[in-house]
Chains A and B, each alone.
Chain A
Amino acid sequence: MKIEVSNLFFSYPGGVDALQGISLSILKGEKVAVIGQNGAGKTTLVKHFNGLLLPTQGSVRVGDLDTTKTTVAKLAARVGYVFQNPDDQLFCKNVEDEVSYGPRNLGYPAEQVAALVDDALSLTELADKNETNPYDLSATWRKMVALASVISMDTPVIIFDEPTTGQDAVNVARIANVIRELHARGKTVITITHDIDFCAENFERIIALSQGKVLLDGHAREVLGQEEILATTYVDPPQLTRLGKRLGLPVVVRNPDEFLEAYQKLPTNLGDPGE
Chain B
Amino acid sequence: MAVLKLHNITYQYPLTETPVLKNINLEVQEGEFLAVIGPNGAGKSTLCYTISGFVPHFYKGELNGTVEIAGVETHESSLSQWVVNAGLVFQNPFNQISGAKYTVYEEIAFGLENTGVPREEMRERVDRAMALTGITDLSERSPYSLSGGQQQRVALTSILVMEPKILVLDEPTSQMDPIGSREVLKVIKTLSERGMTVVMVEHKMEWIASFADRVIALYEGEILLEGTPEEVLTSPELAIRGFGISRYTQVARQAGPLGLWPPDQRLPITLDEAVDGFSRSQP
Q: Does A associate with B in a complex?
A: yes
* Chain B residues whose C-beta falls within 8 Å of the C-beta of A269 in the assembled complex: 260, 282-283
Does A260 belong to the interface (CB within 8 Å)? yes
Q: Which residue of chain A has its CB nearest to the CB of B147?
A: A38
How near does chain B come to A83, taking the closest CB pair, in angstroms? 13
Does B222 belong to the interface (CB within 8 Å)? no
- Do most interface residues of chain A lie in helix, strand or loop, or is the interface mixed? helix
Count chain A residues whose beta carbon lies closer than 8 angstroms to a beta carbon of B.
Answer: 36
B260-283 residues at the A interface, CB under 8 angstroms? 260, 271, 274-275, 278-279, 282-283
Do B279 and A247 touch across chains, with their CB atoms under 8 A apart? yes
Assembly CA distance A266 to B178 (angstroms): 32
Proximity bits, B99-136, A CB within 8 Å = 1, else 0: 00000000000000000000000000000000000000
Assembly CA distance A194 to B244 (angstroms): 16
Proximity bits, B243-263, A CB within 8 Å = 1, else 0: 111111011001100101000
Do A238 and B247 touch across chains, with their CB atoms under 8 A apart? yes
Interface-side segment among A3-11, A94-102, A162-170: A162-170
Tell me whether A168 and B274 are in contact in the complex, defined as CB-CB below 8 angstroms, given that A38-B176, A138-B40, A140-B41 are known contacts.
no
Tell me whether A243 and B149 are in contact in the complex, defined as CB-CB below 8 angstroms, given that A37-B179, A169-B245 are known contacts.
no
Tell me whether A259 and B244 are in contact in the complex, defined as CB-CB below 8 angstroms, given that A138-B40, A235-B178, A239-B271 are known contacts.
no
Assembly CA distance A181 to B215 (angstroms): 36
Assembly CA distance A242 to B246 (angstroms): 13
B130-149 residues at the A interface, CB under 8 angstroms? 147-149
Does A240 belong to the interface (CB within 8 Å)? yes
Does B210 belong to the interface (CB within 8 Å)? no
Q: Which of A169, A196, A235, A247 contacts B278 (CB 8 A)?
A: A247
Does B171 belong to the interface (CB within 8 Å)? yes
Task: List 18 contacting pairs A-B, 8 Å CB cutoff, sorted by A.
Answer: A37-B178, A38-B149, A165-B175, A166-B91, A167-B40, A168-B203, A194-B177, A197-B247, A234-B177, A235-B178, A238-B247, A239-B206, A240-B248, A247-B275, A247-B278, A264-B260, A266-B282, A268-B283
Interfacial residues, chain A to chain B (CB-CB below 8 A): 37-39, 138-140, 165-172, 194, 196-197, 234-236, 238-240, 242-243, 246-247, 256, 259-260, 263-264, 266, 268-269, 271
